[in-house]
Amino acid sequence: MNLAPYLLLATLEGLVQASVFALTALGLSLVFGVMRVVNVAHGEFFTLGAVGAWLCAMLLPGHPAISFAAALVAAPLAVGALAWAADRLILKRIDYDPEATIVSTIGLMYVIQQVVLMTFGPDARAVDAPFWYTIRFPWFGWSGYKVFIIVVAVALVGGLWLAMRHTRFGLIMRATQYDRETAQNFGIPVDRVYAAVFALGAMFAAVAGVLVVPNAQAHYLMGHDPLLMSFVVVIVGGLGSLPGTVAAAVLIGMADGWLSVFFSPTLAKIFSTLLVALVLVFRPAGLFGKAVRA
């Protein structure tokens, strides 16, 4: 039996999964790393991105590429504005208390979920891909749109890394992450930084939702799995570590692709759960995380 086509297919599908995991988990990791907030509503921002793509497809008839391009810009901006408002109206008022923010974001999750259910409906809705192109390999054809997902994810992750390392806003974010009180004493508007970071994390999730929906279907409950996998990736990579998040996304995404092709998707989920358990036992700070200083 020739394993080459199966290995290639598993690797390609794993790269797509890793790209989606990286985008979704980076938003969660960024929010926790800077704000020390566990955002349980993160999966609903993913859902809103997917629903936004469907809405753009309904409002902009014509070639799917037009509505998709509009969704790729409009949906993350709208979701980011909603996240910014949630930070101002909810998280800031409870002073970003860790326990209170968990309860608050759980409430936000259910509010968004029910609003989407009432307006969007309970049915899953399909969205056409912006283009149809098949890449021909010696053994099979593969969707060119999936390559587009990988390219967009690499571009956004690289852009975030450059922004964090080489821009003034990135320096401010890192200073706030390192010591909130000292940053505030030096005149950094920490509250505004927190609002911007919360909005940016939501926008990453929304972009992932827009990219995924042509391969799946928009549904008001579709945020559950991305939220779970984001927590898995962030825990394995290290809470607040962006390089760790990307590395863990690649590791889990590739494992998911290989195990799903050669065995079953259920085994892939078991592997992810087992990996989290092993990391928590042997390296609680994560593969790239640093132990909290006393």
Q: What is the pLDDT of residues 207-242, one digit of tens each?
A: 999 999 998 888 898 988 889 888 888 888 887 778
293 pLDDT band (50/70/90 cuts)?
A: very low
Do residues 226 and 26 touch, judged by C-beta distance below 8 A? no
Helix (H) or strand (E) holding 143: strand 141-143
Higher pLDDT, 86 or 168: 86
Predicted TM-score (pTM) above 0.75: yes
pLDDT digits 0-9 by tens, 112-147: 999 999 998 888 888 888 888 888 877 777 778 889
pLDDT digits 0-9 by tens, 61-86: 888 889 999 999 999 999 999 999 99
pLDDT digits 0-9 by tens, 18-31: 999 999 999 898 88
pLDDT digits 0-9 by tens, 140-151: 777 788 899 999
134 has which bridge partners? 143
Considering 2-6, 106-110, 179-183, 278-282, the range whose residues carry the highest mean pLDDT is 106-110
294 pLDDT band (50/70/90 cuts)?
A: very low
Do residues 156 and 204 touch, judged by C-beta distance below 8 A? yes
Q: How far apart are CA 170 and CA 139, in angstroms?
A: 45
Do residues 127 and 214 touch, judged by C-beta distance below 8 A? yes
Q: How far apart are CA 71 and CA 78, in angstroms?
A: 10
Q: How far apart are CA 246 and CA 25, in angstroms?
A: 8
The predicted structure's pLDDT at residue 1: 54
Helix (H, G, I), strand (E, B) or coil at 149: helix
